[in-house]
Structure 1
């Protein structure tokens, strides 16, 4: 094992300036556990020595034994392979391997080692490294999860994708132990699902794309419309004018599809998301990508979801929640009691979580508030409104079901009191769920909530240009009661509106509403016409069952001997029921929905989600065996997902078939690992990702 300084020295040692790392190249983090040696060998054996990328391998190792992994892998690749040492600067075309009994991170382009903490409840070295990789390299990051027996790496892949990086997972059929790839795929954040040899080919192809092979130029940190209208900008070349017009056309496509105007979001963020999608499809010219968007409605939806990606977690920034319990909640309770007419119940505490993503923030606030009120003699009712512009995120939030990796950092006490174990993870208990009302809302254009005690809007304003921030902050002031509070993200401020909000906690960005003589201009409408995109509108038509769809589905069903199932579109909304599906699907409580994952029974949902995601990724049939709970026992259920197009140029639909039984049949491995891949040209989108 290589020498490593004591833990206190590692934490305090500054990065070696003399050993300053080369920047601008991509670092590939690869994580594995059981079965990882075979996968590492296959991947590295098919990876050229001149990709220009650094590769860091994080393997779950026995903490009490030396590792020969570097020596073994050194014989499988022409690249130089070395065991990571503290302070070494990563370099292109080099492979670094984690040593046993350590935690590995990347800081300032240098690998840092510290001893493994034996007191930690869960050991997650892959998540830890991936998250540090995302922080340090941003979009110059690729994360790969290979064979392994737990969920390590899933959260790290989410962080990499949110930073603009690219994510891959080994196909379950090719993995010796499939749990780690399975849990990674189930997050919905994996770009490619492939066996190790094909992962190597994908990495090679990506290494040649400009998004990966060279740094992305950083435009001024402002909104797209402001950049285009700047009077002080340098004279625009024909290329710049062309790019501006192309971006305007892309904004128009997004707005026609989602009713959200992204033209005043920060251009830096939007361009990076667009370039990432271009890299996935191996498209190098932005005008070619605009054409692809016009031809492919599903890609417009994919780009829309890409722009809205945000990393969230339960009790993120724990200190902020401590301040809520010590400072904010006591003040709100005093005001509630003070303003309540004598003889009546206390006024409800009203909280708005704006930009709630998949619900972790809203549920965390609800849990903290319940913990606080448990020690108070008077307990007012609670109303928590949680909104997001992404309908997909809202659906997940309403269900309140999260993978084990998502609750890994939740304390054992909270896990027992506020969560219920379900198939494939944990669900927020009914008491907490009933406090939170989730709804889709466009923060820019839809009316705000009012008479609020607290607004939490963390890590949302950082994506807005200054013009949008100047719209939203006065709206928050309007929505708060006198004495109300506003909580922002750690890198956000109220800007010029210091007369509207007084700083309560600088570190955790908690503000108190101030009365102000300023006349507030609450502009809740869309952007002004001169700022709207001027491209030809792109009109969506909702996919509807047609005779072609029914006949195409009939042909597929007949070839599979008539099992029951459903036909769904790309958004997983059910277009047609085929046979009696009540054994597998049932209406969910609350708002009516025909979304397949919403209607699927709890025990089937995780395996069904994974199968659907792989079918989208591979564009070919996927077979998977799930479990259906019947009383106290679990029965195996065969799940088949078959992509098909009812019309020559129509949207891809999916036939999802269920059959109770062993679930075993010939061809399972072929169905999950994938068959032949169509030949790609530089302008041909790769078919293996969403």
Structure 2
């Protein structure tokens, strides 16, 4: 490996000879999809006036037009460029240095290196010809796709740009301040998937720079199907350049973990199927890409079944011999057990998705055929929770009969047929109720049986207990000897938030403490555990939503026959009550008699 100082950087302004401006016949063509609506023609002609006609790039221009009327668009554009302006009335091969136009009422898509015209859809679905073109371009050409959104109203083009960005292409939006109608550029920018925001003349200059850059030439000279592989030695060279430039050494940073959550996982088949699909997709890179799949269900019995990973021999009828051999082992009893490599990717935990804290910083949530069992109010609440749990641009996949419903402001459609949505780049509503009212046992022991009346859904006693707790009782948690949360009491979102990582770490009280809480909480917990007496700490402050909140912390030891030691942790708003001081100052209660 050469020393860092010998690494040569390529000047992005380097010129190339005319012979280099066209890709080889066996290569791939750089194609720019340009979408516009009202005010877009003015922007596009401003772009063409500056754009050289010999960059070796193909341009496809789609503008919203009324069906059945010839706008004379081709003639107008020919006055602004020396490139042929071709109206696509039939399937045509894409050629460099051509401008292709969609006739009124026709939708264009890219198949291979061909443009395919189809009639405008006649059903009631929203007509989005720009999204249709860009989406097909992303699938066909991947890194050789460029998407540009110009002036217009509505949101057409936003989804298409996101898909181009997702496959490594380049995305550009017109500066909204220069657009006659800024709706489409602003909607595109709001997706977080736009690389550059420029005026039309600057877009032309950027396309010239891209088209003549040696890196781009090399990229689209690769054959379809070729993968861009970064070897370890190349990665180290990149890290060296970053260190020399920024002073930060990324050499020993852990690679990012791809995080998934499957609420309602039942007995684990779906979670293991997702793990298998990821292992197959990653191939030889699977060992280098950390994966965490959190699979949860309200049924403890189902979770235990899922953890065991043991299934009847009848699954052989649904699996290929290769998958059966690679991902399963046959037991002495004739059943099949999931291979350890698959089980290691999955963390199973009991969880009531409507009430327990969600995971966070997730790349994907698969919640298939769970919402159909919930009413509209609960569905809306769950959509907000999912939005909170996902990373920016994280994905949500629902069942075939499910949708985000009224929460379309939180999620955008990526694939309507397969019910795949993406998180919109907006703040999760700050007033959504953090789902921690339910009290499931989190310990490894089976939860004790509750009295029969507590199992009755409409029990008056249960409802009264809930109202008293919510209105008068301070929120808190019960933790075990190792400070793992086994029960939530009331709404603790002001003090606690889910922590990233595996399920065991995510439910550790010290890991979940919000900013400002950790030191006081840690001192109180260890003090109560050492002395086996209640501990009360006043004057503590926690930071939440940019504001400080003062509170009193109580840690009270609990004991019961046959159970390990536990602690009740209460968060009391400062000045609300003196009664808790009397309780926590008293000696610990004797164990409850059996």
Q: TM-score, normalised by structure 2?
A: 0.45
Q: TM-score, normalised by structure 1?
A: 0.39
Higher relative CO (Cα under 8 Å, sequence separation at least 6) belongs to: 1
